[in-house]
Structure 1
Amino acid sequence: MSEAYDLIIIGGGVNGAGVARDAAGRGAKVLLLEKGDLASGTSSKSTKLVHGGLRYLEYYEFALVREALGERETVWQIAPHIVWPMRFILPVTDGMRPRWMLRAGLFLYDHIGGKGRLKNTSSVNLKKHAAGAVLEKRYKRGFEYSDGWVDDARLVVLNALDAAERGADIRTRTPVTSARREGDIWHVEAGGDTFQARAIVNAAGPEADDLARLVGEHPAYGIRRVRGSHIVVPKLFDHDRAYILQQPDTRICFAIPWENDFTLIGTTDADHSGSVDEVQASAEEIRYLCDAANRYFKQDVTPDDVVHTYAGVRALVDDGSGRPEAATRGYKIALSDPSRGVPILGIYGGKITSYRHVAEDAVNKLAERLPVLKGASWTGKEPLPGGDFAFTAQPILFDVLREDYPFLSDTDVVRIGRAYGTRAGDWLGDAKSWSDLGRNFGAGLTEAEVDYLGRVEWAQTAEDVLWRRTKQGVHMSEAEQAGLREFMGD
């Protein structure tokens, strides 16, 4: 049994990785344990947005929106390669929220978070605007506002990578089977080994209450498991705007340009009672999302057009809301009473946009019991790996890649630049042609990149590579994917 860690974090989603980064940067000896792959659950199944949550204003979640809008700016600043601005089109729809209400909400959305760097809302004549050309003729007026896009799974991996570079021990596919207090130490059994720690963080997301019970704690908060499903279809429009679409049941859906050739449509809100390990979009949810798009776009979408689906279970604090979409997206942090002995801290709820603030809050609370967590908060200023350039300089990064690797197409440059930022050269190396990067598995995914993802970013299976470290699975044939599986020994 090795020397005790200061902190064991259970859960390798965005909150767990964020806590690992923050705590390691403050001098703690950190171990992160994840039963699957990093971001293999909820944190890779989002709508890929860093946003304040415009619709949360309807539920008077003003503090949540204000915090998230502030974090939207911060995350963009520390990760300008995987986060970038996006403009959203909100059509005015007869019989739904009136135009004055939408305008008032958007005005508040523009200002509640303070002075930001994104463009404010503007009115749009959809009969003349390019975004209106693909909509049915009855949509004549609308608004255009700003939010941000994020590669959610890479956000998790980059936090874990930064934590590792600051001394944290990151172990994937290491499920925790038990934990017990003995004196002033936790003994945690995971993956056939026993680890010791002076504190535990429960960052198990939708399984946070189950994990609390496993380690002998009463859950501080109930978890409401809400499934959000998404579909991917061939692209419905050629411009770079996204759409936010009101639905007759008062929900909203997004239609977002995705991976150049596709449109991502989501999400649903359905209470989930089954396993959180194998979550699938139901036939009813797929039909719902098709209908949601068909109310607006001239080009109809059917379930037969869907080329990919994914679904995740959001861990929401159970606040007694009747409808799942009305349940709070806020978070709660619970630190065990000192009378219980060595501490365990639980993170309940939250949203991906606010992960950094959640982690900071969690580490600040733990510092009251763990003196090793010295120093002030720092994660809002230091860039994530590959993000050490000005948040407005993404085009310059692309130009450098084009100059250094002229054999890359513009599509390749954007994909690689947005995934790896200034660290793209760590695996591109001195390559002068595609052949220098080894086997091409399809869609520009090469042996050099796959080797890097396994060696540096904990990718062990083709699924890790195709759908989390990259999104190249949507561009590759079944035969090409099978070739990668064989290569990786799946």
Structure 2
Amino acid sequence: MATQSPLDTASATRAEMSAAPIACDVLVVGGGINGVGIARDLAGRGWSVVLAEQDDLAAHTSSSSTKLIHGGLRYLEYYEFGLVRKALQEREVLLRSAPHIMWPLRFVMPHDPSMRPAWLVRLGLFLYDHLARREVLPGSRGVDLRRHPVGAPLQPRFERGFIYSDGWVDDARLVVLNAIEARERGAQLFTRTRCTAAQRHASGWTATLQPADGPARTVTARALVNAAGPWAESFLRGTASPATGEALATKSLRLVKGSHIVVPRCFEHDHAYIFQNPDKRIIFAIPYEQEFTLIGTTDQELQGDPRGARIGDDEVAYLCEQASRYFTRAVTPADVVWSYAGVRPLLDDASGDPSAVTRDYLLESNTAAAPLLSVWGGKITTFRKLAEDAATDVGRMLGEVRSPWTEPAALPGGDLSAWIGRPQRPDTDFERFVTTVRQRHRWLPAALARRLARAYGSRIDRVLGDAAALADLGAEVAPGLHEAELRYLQREEWAVSGDDVLWRRSKLGLHYTEAERARVAQWMETPVSKQRESRAAACS
């Protein structure tokens, strides 16, 4: 199948959707991390794949996480040892696959004797260190908060604590990288395209894909993967039609809203904090975008359409109150510069406490007629393993066994060997990469070189092109954001709107004024033909 490159995503989608019907092996519904991960794995095994996402890639849950690659320390209290072990096994696999968007992070847990006894915390951390093999991440240890720099921002009553390891990920970029590789391996991805109908037959599926701004198109597929996240249950109950009278939806989702706030930086060092709360929940306080601290998350039941999920005043107050129990300087709602809410589509296990609902996933195969695979639950850390299991299940249902391949594979931009030679450690490899980028492109300002290296890894030259000076990147639409990068995001990463660029492909929106954000939005709304005319006029 031909590789798709969305130069002008909106017009390309209109043109493609008005063409002949598409026939493929597998139709994937949903462009979050699970959907794109499955599309990538399937395409890499040689099946023809079409993916439809009703909005932008990572527009919902997959850009609204706490942005951690972690085993889930608190899940040990719920005896979810299998889930924790599976997630811990994935941490270093992921860190090696994309060291530009994922890196190790040390966490500080101040000990509050009223929450959990020290021996219980030590036991949990011992298990956390040893449930899976570690080669990159250091183990846990105790810390004297009265003497260590990580104790300085904390109230004096916290005298001791523990430090352990997990990882950080740019969640929305992780989705985009999986989508890029899926496309490069032959998959066709349609964003802002809703699957409005999917009719099951004995030997295949016939689906209708409706773009936001063009005519509908028919897709025929041998198998369908329902990876619609918070909409997975409603898709089966309202959009998909069975071949006979069988019920397609046999499981129920429990939608749990998790909200986060961003405040000016609460501390100077590079460690994160995990705080235990009186309600037995935990929150994180994480260094974010150099100038900020990210605090989250909450757990609230959500009723109604997940698209309408917003952080509530009560959630803001809760996060501020719990952070203020630990920090010397109180965090108040007036400090909040940005907030977001995501909806976790958790498999309903009849647990009374939203925090106790399992974060594990279930893949449900249905072969009553044409193959159907539904993805229930999951977490970002286990997306690769989920995708691998899903692709294997699809192959089994199609009667075609094809070998897994993603565990040792780098994601787009993650193979830095052409720049730095043989990889050593993901964290030090990235710093070597930044040094090489600056040596090759001495005209790049240091801050811009690091940001571009973080965002694009070894694909940075696709952004820079043949530029030999800063002026060659085109007009600076907003501070540090040039036309060359925006054109790349349109051409290669399905970016259409200002929000796509400012809040998902990057978090530059946090650093810009309202007027600067408006300039980016206006540039993105300008048709590509007008942009070309403007560039030609500037060069004449």
TM-score (norm 1): 0.97
Amino acid aligned to 1:246: Q
2:529 equivalent in structure 1: none
Instruction: Tell me by how many angstroms 1:487 deviates.
Output: 1.1
**After alignment, is 37-46 or 271-280 more displaced?**
271-280
Q: 1:274 aligns with which of 295, 304, 316?
A: 304
Name the CA distance, whole Å, in 1 between partners of 2:403 and 2:520: 44
2:440 equivalent in structure 1: 404
1:385 equivalent in structure 2: 412
Name the CA distance, whole Å, in 2 between partners of 1:277 and 1:429: 38
Runs of 4+ that moved beyond 3 A = 407-410
Amino acid aligned to 2:488: Y
Name the CA distance, whole Å, in 2 between partners of 1:431 and 1:304: 43
3-state SS in 1 of match to 2:208: strand
Note the alpha carbon deviations across 1:115-166, whole angstroms, 9 max, x for none. 4420000111101111101111111100010000000001110001001000
Written as runs of structure 1 = structure 2, the 5 A alignment for 1:239-388 is 239-337=269-367, 340-371=368-399, 374-388=401-415
Name the CA distance, whole Å, in 2 between partners of 1:138 and 1:365: 53
Amino acid aligned to 2:525: G
2:232 equivalent in structure 1: 208
Note the alpha carbon deviations across 1:264-285, whole angstroms, 9 max, x for none. 0000000011321132111100
Matching of residue 180 in structure 1 with residue 193 in structure 2? no
3-state SS in 2 of match to 1:31: strand
- Does the CA-based 8 Å contact 1:65-1:113 persist in structure 2? no
Amino acid aligned to 2:522: E
Amino acid aligned to 1:168: A
- Does the CA-based 8 Å contact 2:22-2:218 persist in structure 1? no
Matching of residue 417 in structure 1 with residue 475 in structure 2? no
- Does the CA-based 8 Å contact 2:260-2:298 persist in structure 1? yes
Matching of residue 459 in structure 1 with residue 502 in structure 2? no
3-state SS in 2 of match to 1:221: coil
Amino acid aligned to 2:393: K
Q: 1:100 aligns with which of 119, 124, 127?
A: 119
- Does the CA-based 8 Å contact 1:43-1:152 persist in structure 2? yes
Name the CA distance, whole Å, in 1 between partners of 2:512 and 2:472: 21
3-state SS in 2 of match to 1:476: coil
Amino acid aligned to 2:217: D
Name the CA distance, whole Å, in 2 between partners of 1:413 and 1:486: 25
Note the alpha carbon deviations across 1:47-90, whole angstroms, 9 max, x for none. 00000000000000000000000111111111111110000000
Amino acid aligned to 1:354: T
Amino acid aligned to 1:379: T
Note the alpha carbon deviations across 1:294-315, whole angstroms, 9 max, x for none. 0111111111110000100001
Name the CA distance, whole Å, in 2 between partners of 1:91 and 1:395: 30
3-state SS in 2 of match to 1:198: strand
Q: 1:58 aligns with which of 67, 72, 77?
A: 77
- Does the CA-based 8 Å contact 2:100-2:414 persist in structure 1? yes
Name the CA distance, whole Å, in 2 between partners of 1:477 and 1:92: 39
Matching of residue 17 in structure 1 with residue 36 in structure 2? yes
**After alignment, is 178-187 or 265-274 more displaced?**
178-187
CA RMSD in angstroms, aligned pairs only = 1.2
Amino acid aligned to 1:456: E
3-state SS in 2 of match to 1:393: helix
Matching of residue 234 in structure 1 with residue 264 in structure 2? yes
- Does the CA-based 8 Å contact 1:443-1:472 persist in structure 2? no
Note the alpha carbon deviations across 1:318-370, whole angstroms, 9 max, x for none. 00111101000000011113xx2111100000000000000111111111122
Amino acid aligned to 1:378: W
**After alignment, is 399-408 or 78-87 more displaced?**
399-408
Name the CA distance, whole Å, in 1 between partners of 2:415 and 2:251: 38
Name the CA distance, whole Å, in 2 between partners of 1:418 and 1:278: 31
Name the CA distance, whole Å, in 2 between partners of 1:129 and 1:407: 39
3-state SS in 1 of match to 2:200: strand
**After alignment, is 274-283 or 465-474 more displaced?**
274-283
3-state SS in 2 of match to 1:175: strand
Amino acid aligned to 2:196: T
Name the CA distance, whole Å, in 1 between partners of 2:198 and 2:35: 17
- Does the CA-based 8 Å contact 1:13-1:205 persist in structure 2? yes
Q: Percent identity?
A: 50
2:98 equivalent in structure 1: 79
Instruction: Tell me by how many angstroms 1:488 deviates.
Output: 1.3
Name the CA distance, whole Å, in 2 between partners of 1:188 and 1:274: 26
Name the CA distance, whole Å, in 2 between partners of 1:35 and 1:222: 21
Matching of residue 432 in structure 1 with residue 432 in structure 2? no
1:28 equivalent in structure 2: 47
Q: 2:250 aligns with which of 191, 213, 220?
A: 220
2:530 equivalent in structure 1: none
Written as runs of structure 1 = structure 2, the 5 A alignment for 1:190-201 is 190-191=209-210, 192-201=216-225
Note the alpha carbon deviations across 1:351-408, whole angstroms, 9 max, x for none. 0000000011111111112245x53110111110000133241111100111122233
3-state SS in 1 of match to 2:450: helix
Matching of residue 489 in structure 1 with residue 506 in structure 2? no
- Does the CA-based 8 Å contact 2:478-2:520 persist in structure 1? no
TM-score (norm 2): 0.88
Name the CA distance, whole Å, in 2 between partners of 1:409 and 1:294: 38
Q: 2:170 aligns with which of 142, 151, 160?
A: 151
Note the alpha carbon deviations across 1:84-107, whole angstroms, 9 max, x for none. 000000000131111111111001
Instruction: Tell me by how many angstroms 1:414 deviates.
Output: 2.5
Instruction: Tell me by how many angstroms 1:21 deviates.
Output: 0.4
Instruction: Tell me by how many angstroms 1:3 deviates.
Output: 4.7
Instruction: Tell me by how many angstroms 1:183 deviates.
Output: 4.2
3-state SS in 1 of match to 2:384: helix
Name the CA distance, whole Å, in 1 between partners of 2:22 and 2:270: 52
